[in-house]
Chains A and B, each alone.
Chain A
Amino acid sequence: MKDVIINIEHVSKQFGDKVVLDDINLQIKKGEFITFLGPSGCGKTTLLRIIGGFHLPTDGKVEMEGKDLLTLPPHKRPLNTVFQRYALFPHLDVYDNVAFGLKLKKEDNEDIAEKVTKVLRMVGMSDYEDRDVNSLSGGQQQRIAIARAIVNQPKILLLDEPLSALDLKMRKDMQIELKEMHQKLGITFIYVTHDQEEALTLSDTIVVMNEGKIQQIGTPEDIYNEPQNAFVADFIGESNILVGTMIEDRKVSFIGHEFACVDEGFEPNEAVDVVLRPEDIYIMNKLEGAQFTGVVKSCTFKGVHNEIFVETENGFELMIQDYNFFQPGNTVGLIIKPADIHVMKKDCLSNRFEGEITAEGEVTFLDTIFDCDTTGFEVGDKVCVDVAFEKVDLLDHKEDSDLRGFVSFILYKGNHYHLTITTEGGAKLFVNTNDVWDKLDTVGVNINAEDIRLTKIEA
């Protein structure tokens, strides 16, 4: 395609044993404002640094306008970076900082002066030429850092969480300025942030990343309205994520009721995740005409709207946003419109591991020995191990268990928590529980013998 400026194919990156990027495929269009969004450690900055030339991928290729980018050292790449902590040279004043790149290109002094003046006017920092960079405020340093990058007229501007060091008010102002700057310059902006609101405000395209993988690529509207999986739904905006069953096309059951929806193409009775945005649930005091009812647990004023927690008659908790106040303790009627129900395929239905029968009554998987019924199997058999989400026990005292890990992701599903446990060996285990755990809690994992299902893998 002609309007693709950056083409990333099968890019992976490992630091030692740790996989930071796992088979990334992405095309960036000329002139777009694209954002890599994700929690810290998701690999977004590493991907940006690979494009910038500060890391080399372990695998894969990166092309710019059809030419291999990876063989070029950073100083020869036609792109510039705005660094997270600005990295303005402390031994140079504002003018010399901005002129740094132009002077290296041995441009004419008059041209340099003209360009620097122009770009400083653009970022609203005229009259600051002679100032020491250390005497500037965070916001001013930010502007100089942007000026220093764009004065070189790069084809692509890379921005690594450029607003994270600023206070809220300043951040909002800079967001608007960045957006204007992008329109004025017409060049491609590649932006990295962990702030979903910032990403939704600024971007033409958002790339949601988690644990080194791309979760979803789309416009801010797509990502918000049609999240592809529970991670995206949870990370972008507020949401209720519930366990459901797709009864047939355009008919889904969750929280004990059947609802009409607009989703198709699932197997009959397929288990799915259902996402409801809190502003998409209609709440009213009258009960007739309601699809289901619930009792208001709490109602908190949040400035623009009230945040209401409602417990349905089947014991599911829903978060709802509404302009009106609802008295806690009152029974309310609730309606969900078909178009507001987002049905997502489940990533997996149970924990599945490869294991081996290591002794009579013992199976080894995740580098750990578990007791289980091995009737019908022989020692040395390779097996497929299935453990249901709700059959995994988590223990406070990790000493009591041979398998240990930490809570890496928490999702509330209306009446239970869906946890992701990353084991010490780096494997993932999904757990449904009613107990409250915090992210990064270390836990011991226990699985009872009768909850381990084995299937033989044919050699």
Chain B
Amino acid sequence: MNKRANWSIPYAIFLSIFVALPLLLIFVYAFRAPGGGFSFQNFVKFFNESEVINTFLYSIEIAAYNTALCMLLGYPAAYILSNNKLNKSAITIMLFVLPMSINALIRTLATVELFDILNVALGEGTLIFGMVYNFLPFMIYPIYNTLRKIDPSYYEAAQDLGASPFEIFTKVTFPLSVPGIQSGITMVFMPTISTFAISEFLTNNKIKLFGTIIQENINSSFWNYGSALSLIMLVIIGLTTILTGDGSSDSQKGEQSI
């Protein structure tokens, strides 16, 4: 083994203890009956509990709304921030990203207080508001990065070939920023399915999401069923990642100039 390969040993140990082992445990627990022994019992239970399946579908729906809203709000924001003519200060991008550094739980609790003061009833509306508020920076940032990396000579070339400002956007800017949108979707859609804290606080536990159900099961020591639900979610996340074409691998596309 050469020397450089040795450097990876600490990471390999870290990954095996904190990533591979827990995944393996989830996998093993999911296929075991509460009493012990190999079993599909947990999965059978999932497909027979319409309430859980409905929650699962509802979570996906909420996640889809959240992602769509984040994109609608985040893309123009990222576009303005990345444009030197519209945004001359580096502070504005910081203001957008700064909330990311405050704990999500604290922000959510603060939002609850805000709704309380404003006398807004907690429910689906406040849930989506909280989610968009929490996840918007994760949509803005990758799109902003991709837009920043687009060589301005593409805009000039498009302009030179007769494209109006609107056509430059639809035919050059937007297609070149797709990798950033993909990253943004991956970073917003996946975590929203599994989130539970936001739904718990911002709906006063009235609305349950799939993450809530997993959390309740684990909390009540239903380890095997909780693991099975986690595994199902992991598979769904994995599939979506493959389908959207994980942004990380192509997010540099805008950067390639020649």
Q: Hey, which bits of chain A sit against chain B, CB under 8 A?
A: 52-54, 73-76, 80-81, 83, 85-91, 100-101, 104-105, 134, 138, 141, 148-149, 152, 165
Instruction: Give A76 to B162 CA distance when docked, in angstroms.
Output: 6
Instruction: Give A80 to B158 CA distance when docked, in angstroms.
Output: 10
Instruction: Give A87 to B254 CA distance when docked, in angstroms.
Output: 12
Of B85-93, B125-133, B148-156, which binds chain A?
B148-156
Task: Establish whether residues B153 and A101, one from each chain, have CB atoms under 8 Å apart when the complex forms.
Answer: no
Task: Establish whether residues B258 and A134, one from each chain, have CB atoms under 8 Å apart when the complex forms.
Answer: yes
Q: Determine whether B172 belongs to the interface, using a CB cutoff of 8 Å to chain A.
A: yes
Q: Knowing A87-B151, A100-B171, A134-B256 touch, does A80 contact B176 (C-beta < 8 A)?
A: no
Hey, which chain A residues are within 8 Å of B258, CB to CB?
85-86, 88, 134, 138, 141, 165
Q: Mark B172-185, 1 if CB is under 8 A from A, else 0.
A: 10011010000000
Task: Establish whether residues A75 and B172, one from each chain, have CB atoms under 8 Å apart when the complex forms.
Answer: no
Taking CB as reference atom, which chain A residue is nearest B154? A87
Query: Which secondary structure dominates where chain B touches chain A?
Result: helix
Instruction: Give A425 to B79 CA distance when docked, in angstroms.
Output: 39
A83, A90, A104, A138: the one within 8 Å of B162 (CB): A104
A-B contact pairs, 29 of them (CB 8 A): A54-B156, A74-B156, A75-B159, A75-B160, A75-B164, A76-B162, A80-B160, A80-B161, A81-B156, A81-B160, A85-B153, A85-B257, A87-B153, A89-B154, A89-B172, A89-B176, A90-B254, A91-B175, A91-B176, A100-B158, A101-B161, A104-B161, A104-B162, A104-B171, A148-B157, A149-B160, A149-B161, A152-B161, A152-B162
Hey, which chain B residues are within 8 Å of A75, CB to CB?
159-164
Hey, which chain A residues are within 8 Å of B175, CB to CB?
91
Minimum CB–CB distance from B167 to chain A (whole Å) comes to 6
Hey, which chain A residues are within 8 Å of B176, CB to CB?
89-91
Instruction: Give A75 to B157 CA distance when docked, in angstroms.
Output: 10
Interface size on B, residues (CB 8 A): 23
Instruction: Give A89 to B253 CA distance when docked, in angstroms.
Output: 11
Hey, which chain A residues are within 8 Å of B256, CB to CB?
90, 134
Query: What 9 A-B pairs are tightest by C-beta distance, nearest first?
Result: A101-B161, A87-B153, A87-B157, A91-B175, A74-B159, A104-B162, A81-B160, A75-B162, A75-B159
Hey, which chain A residues are within 8 Å of B171, CB to CB?
100, 104
Hey, which chain A residues are within 8 Å of B153, CB to CB?
83, 85, 87
Hey, which chain B residues are within 8 Å of A74, CB to CB?
156, 159-160
